[in-house]
Amino acid sequence: RGTRPVAANVDTVFLVTGLDGDFNLRRIERYVAVAQASGARPVIVLNKADVCEDLETTMASVRSRAGGAQVIAMSARDDDPGSSLAPWLTDGETVALIGSSGVGKSTIANRLLGTDALRTSAVREHDQRGMHTTTRRELVKLPGGALLIDTPGMRELSVWTDEESIRAAFDDVAEVAAGCRFADCRHDGEPGCAVAEAIADGRMDADRFAHFRSLEKEAAFLETRRDATAQLVQRRKWKAIHKSMRDHDKRK
């Protein structure tokens, strides 16, 4: 189910994905958009690098969709996560681990703590999916003074942000779109569309643009729901006020 961002006062969000059956570029794009909208600094952590056949190419594809976020590759069981993540684990910082079940969030947390304080389990062999070892948010203090939040694995992360934040996460799309002939270009067959030209000549990935439009529509739908809810709250508020006034008049 969908999950809201961890918290507005988190400094850095480690967006953990496995380089096994969990790997999904669209999910990474969604994570980055939501993390940036929350005000936190997103850092993409590609775990299980030891099972990736072409790590260099995979990291390049992630960087092209990272929206400027730092990309780190590691094998949490074999490497030292503390060294890789050290720049964001300074005293007084609050960081969070977010990702699907089985990507290694609790393993990373345990390696950072230097003890097996958080329970872990293996992924299922047939689909590489985790089994929700962490069932609630865990807040722990790391030896260097940083506070770490380990979150339950997520099957889906809903967009809880506005269209402007989505565009900020896809700034490469916005940069190309600025070259369209018409300021209100919808990138849907209009003449002089710079986005269509960039897709045609390979400068922009068509799948990334399609996902951008999908997230943009999701954010617009959410904003409509928010407006409808706000209007309903206002109607109920004024209905209660009018009822109170009528009751007051009757008592006179």
Report DSSP state, residue 123: P
State the alpha helices, DSSP H only, in 40-193.
55-63, 81-85, 105-113, 163-169, 171-177
d(CA 83, CA 108): 12
- Report helix, strand and coil shares of the chain as percent, to nearest 5: 45, 10, 45
For residue 145, the model assigns a pLDDT of 93
Q: Can you give the pLDDT at residue 248?
A: 61
Contact 48, 20 (CB under 8 A): yes
Tokens 């993409």, located at residue: 44
Alpha-helical regions (H) of the chain:
25-38, 55-63, 81-85, 105-113, 163-169, 171-177, 194-200, 206-251
- Non-local (6+) Cβ contacts of 247 within 8 A are none
Structure tokens at 243: 């009822």
- By the 8 A CB rule, do 49 and 23 touch? no
Q: Specify the 3-state DSSP secondary structure of 172.
A: helix
The per-residue pLDDT for 193 is 94
Query: Can you give the pLDDT at residue 192?
Result: 94
- How far apart are the C-alpha atoms of 104 and 107, rounded to whole Å? 5
Round to the nearest angstrom and report the end-to-end CA distance of the chain: 53
Q: What is the pLDDT along the chain (252 residues), one digit of tens a residue?
A: 444 444 458 899 999 999 998 898 988 988 888 888 788 899 999 999 999 999 999 999 999 888 889 999 999 988 899 999 999 999 999 999 998 888 999 899 999 998 776 555 455 454 455 454 555 677 889 998 999 998 775 555 554 556 677 777 788 888 899 999 998 898 988 999 999 999 999 998 888 888 888 888 877 766 666 566 666 676 777 777 767 767 766 666
Tell me how far apart the alpha carbons of residues 225 and 212 are, in angstroms, rounded to a whole number.
Answer: 20
Asked if 118 contacts 106 with a C-beta cutoff of 8 angstroms, the reply is yes
pLDDT of residue 1: 40
For the whole model, what pTM was predicted? Answer: 0.64
**pLDDT of the residue at 222:** 67
pLDDT of residue 2: 43
Q: What is the dihedral of CA 220, 174, 64, 48, to 10 degrees?
A: -20
C-alpha to C-alpha distance for 166 and 216, rounded to whole angstroms: 6
Query: What is the pLDDT, as a whole number, of residue 132?
Result: 45
